Structure 1
Amino acid sequence: MIRWRWGTVVAARREWRGSLELDVTVDARHPSDPPSVRALAYPALVGAPRPGDRVLLNLNALALGLGTGGYALVVAVPDRLPEDVEAPGHVVKARYTPLQAIVLAADEEASPLRGALAGAVSLDGMPVVVADLHSALPAVVAGALAARPGARIAYVMTDGGALPAWFSRTLDGLRPLLAGTVTTGQAFGGDLESTNVHSGLLAARHGLHADLAIVTQGPGNLGTGTSWGFSGVAAGEAVNAVAALGGRPVAAPRISDADPRPRHRGVSHHSLTAFGRVALAPASLVMPSDLSPALSSAVREALAALCPPHTLVEVPSADLGAALADLPVKLSTMGRTFEQDSAYFLSAAAAGRCAADMSATA
């Protein structure tokens, strides 16, 4: 199940919040092993490796060629273990794995937010954009801030993709634009921690004082190419959670005319399943009003089939290109840039605009 390898750190490369990228030579155990790799270390878990350190590596993601996981991962620096960190939390993430981590949940007794969250039961009508892929996050932020500059936006990260929020360079670059990040379920590394999406949404509203929130999985996406075998199913569950807590769900369907796979062109089958079959509560289902004629017709027909219970909302998006261009991070989805798949990013931005307009009237 795990490709264990020893390695030696040669040099440090990039560093961003919570992550350290390294060049590491590999002690080969198999003819296919590369002589050296890019490796990623999370200093909060394993310490900060230095050149010359011997490290224990997991080569699984690299060997499988995973698109968002082209790293070997540093599991330990066995000859120089980090010091113990005494912390008040008792919530365990990545439970019963060798790297289970203890964090302080925003609503547990030792948290400074305990008083604000202990009795919190409602989002007070806060709009929440729900999207499938992590790559939608910056576009939603751009659309929301274009409509309501200065809005407090919280990101609620689910555990369908990467578990450490630190993996995301996009999230690191967006930090100045966000009120904060809440990591939910088995995910960890956010500004606040929560046990599930429901408590994470409440933490976003009452802990980060968000005007609106965005829910997506972390970087990466698990899919088997079958109708139900994909991690984005959780987007439908998030819609239900928002509604159960008295929020206003805004569904951001995955729209593209550039994806080479037929099942993801127009409206992705992931969105049709998550919002059409898993989401039982009504949501505002957003599409741009100014897509190309052929794409617009196909998208409108697909989304109209989900209404009711949802309400189809068409939002202008063409003018949001400037807001997307001004983002401090690069836009990329499945390796495609804005120029290569503008419909995808403009659709996500339109959902952000819709939510921001709602928040102004909350």
Structure 2
Amino acid sequence: MTAVLRWRYGTVTEIRGTWRGSCEVLVDIEARDPQDRSSAKALAYPELVGTPRVGDRVLLNCNALAKGLGTGGYALVVALPDRLPEDVDGPGHIVKARYTPQQTMRLAVDEEDSPHRETMTAVDDVAGMPVVVHDLHSALPAILAGILLDRPDARVAYVMTDGGALPAWFSRTLDGLSGTLAGTVTTGQTFGGDLEATNVHTGLLAARQVLRADIAIVTQGPGNLGTGTTWGFSGTACGDAVNATAAMGGRAVGALRISDADARDRHVGVSHHSLTAYGRVALAAADLPVPTGLAPELAARVSEQLEPLRSRHRVVPVDAEGLVEAMRRSPVRLSTMGRGLDADLAYFLACAAAGRHAAGLTA
């Protein structure tokens, strides 16, 4: 199959805003037909391409615009060809986004030049640390709210997997949770976290030993990939994360994707993503928290769907009292697939319940 790429030049007309690691600009795009120009939002990562200024000529990847993507609906700045950033030298030889035009050299937390090398090699497990796993990035603040409601002093680390966005900088959620999380570890091909790790295993170890986390949350970055088939979705990595948690001596908590607001039947009740990831990919046992107070019809469907998973996992009812109020106090807005807290309450309750359960495991 031929790769689909839409390259365009453009000119920066406005700096719309910045957040950690990202700069949003407005660009006038030069179309292939000189008479047909358009204006669009574009996203630049200054650490990779330099900091855009009004008037800069930019090289753009316009695939997301052409495909009408939601989460990733930006033109992406590939380069400022007339004003390249200065060369940067430093420690680290781990390459992420490997063999792509913007592959970047990072300092891995466990490599020889790392100040944490000795810490990372002194132990090889996470000493029973609870690890909450979910397949959507939107679960992160809800899980965190559930943890901090019962354990406001808990140190919580985020371990980001590479099923969605690769740069952690794309996530406004992470920017908004700065100071609330103990830190972010970017694993696999992801990059831009407080710490860089080779894989989920070393990411969990770094969360425990370097960030001194009491609890870790593992999700992909923004931009879930799904094809509507049994196996064709990036969230299968949830099962892999459960296995990694077991291998590293942690306690896996599988946050369920539950909804009665999704228009797609395969995601109603317990999403087929959760059923496949925990039922067929995860070979180790996990706790699967289910919040109390779900609508009776939804609760009955969830119970029936989870029945086949009980032979391997522990389905745990979790009191939902206080969780909604805790999520309303979140420093970032809760949203999944365009639905906010009240529009998809069951989804967020299930996430927060997983957080509450994990908090209880540290008592």
**TM > 0.5 fold call:** yes
Matched position secondary structure for 1:215 = strand
Question: Residue 353 in 1 paired to residue 347 in 2?
Answer: no
Question: Residue 277 in 1 paired to residue 272 in 2?
Answer: no
Query: Could you tell me whether the CA contact under 8 Å between 1:168 and 1:219 is conserved in 2?
Result: yes
Question: Residue 312 in 1 paired to residue 311 in 2?
Answer: no
If the length of structure 1 is used for normalisation, what is the TM-score? 0.98
Distance 1:234 1:33 in 2: 43
Quick one: structure 1 residues 3 and 305, their matched pair in 2 at CA, closer, same or farther if it must change by over 3 Å? same
Question: Residue 47 in 1 paired to residue 42 in 2?
Answer: no
Give the aligned residue type for 2:341: F
- Residue 20 of structure 1 corresponds to 23
- Residue 10 of structure 1 corresponds to 13
Give the aligned residue type for 1:95: R
Matched position secondary structure for 1:307 = helix
C-alpha displacement at 1:39, in angstroms? 0.2
Give the aligned residue type for 2:256: P
1:169 alignment partner, one of 160, 172, 195: 172
Query: Could you tell me whether the CA contact under 8 Å between 2:30 and 2:37 is conserved in 1?
Result: no
RMSD, matched Cα? 1.2
Distance 2:35 2:123 in 1: 54
Question: Residue 107 in 1 paired to residue 110 in 2?
Answer: yes
Matched position secondary structure for 2:244 = helix
Runs ≥4 in structure 1, deviation > 3 angstroms? 30-34
Quick one: structure 1 residues 271 and 34, their matched pair in 2 at CA, closer, same or farther if it must change by over 3 Å? farther
C-alpha displacement at 1:308, in angstroms? 1.7
Question: Residue 139 in 1 paired to residue 176 in 2?
Answer: no
Quick one: structure 1 residues 355 and 111, their matched pair in 2 at CA, closer, same or farther if it must change by over 3 Å? same
Distance 1:313 1:32 in 2: 62
Identity %: 67
Query: Could you tell me whether the CA contact under 8 Å between 1:180 and 1:208 is conserved in 2?
Result: yes
C-alpha displacement at 1:256, in angstroms? 0.2
Distance 2:36 2:185 in 1: 37
1:61 alignment partner, one of 64, 69, 80: 64
1:210-359 matched pairs, under 5 angstroms: 210-359=213-362
Quick one: structure 1 residues 32 and 102, their matched pair in 2 at CA, closer, same or farther if it must change by over 3 Å? farther
Distance 1:65 1:232 in 2: 22
Matched position secondary structure for 2:8 = strand
Distance 2:204 2:32 in 1: 46
C-alpha offsets along residues 165-197 of structure 1, whole Å, 9 cap, x if unaligned?
A: 000001110112100000000000000000100
Give the aligned residue type for 1:235: C
- Residue 192 of structure 1 corresponds to 195
Give the aligned residue type for 1:97: T
Query: Could you tell me whether the CA contact under 8 Å between 1:182 and 1:204 is conserved in 2?
Result: yes
Quick one: structure 1 residues 31 and 160, their matched pair in 2 at CA, closer, same or farther if it must change by over 3 Å? farther
C-alpha offsets along residues 174-223 of structure 1, whole Å, 9 cap, x if unaligned?
A: 11210000000000000000010001000000010000000000001111
Distance 1:204 1:34 in 2: 47
Query: Could you tell me whether the CA contact under 8 Å between 1:130 and 1:235 is conserved in 2?
Result: yes
Q: How many correspondences in the alignment?
A: 360
Give the aligned residue type for 1:221: N
Query: Could you tell me whether the CA contact under 8 Å between 2:58 and 2:79 is conserved in 1?
Result: yes
Give the aligned residue type for 1:238: A
Query: Could you tell me whether the CA contact under 8 Å between 1:282 and 1:308 is conserved in 2?
Result: no
Query: Could you tell me whether the CA contact under 8 Å between 2:147 and 2:358 is conserved in 1?
Result: yes
C-alpha displacement at 1:17, in angstroms? 0.1
C-alpha offsets along residues 308-335 of structure 1, whole Å, 9 cap, x if unaligned?
A: 2100001011421111000111110000
Structure 1: give runs of 5+ residues left out of the alignment.
none
- Residue 212 of structure 2 corresponds to 209
Distance 1:133 1:63 in 2: 24
Give the aligned residue type for 2:135: D
Matched position secondary structure for 1:306 = helix
C-alpha offsets along residues 13-62 of structure 1, whole Å, 9 cap, x if unaligned?
A: 11100000000000011599761110000000000010000000000112
Distance 1:318 1:2 in 2: 49
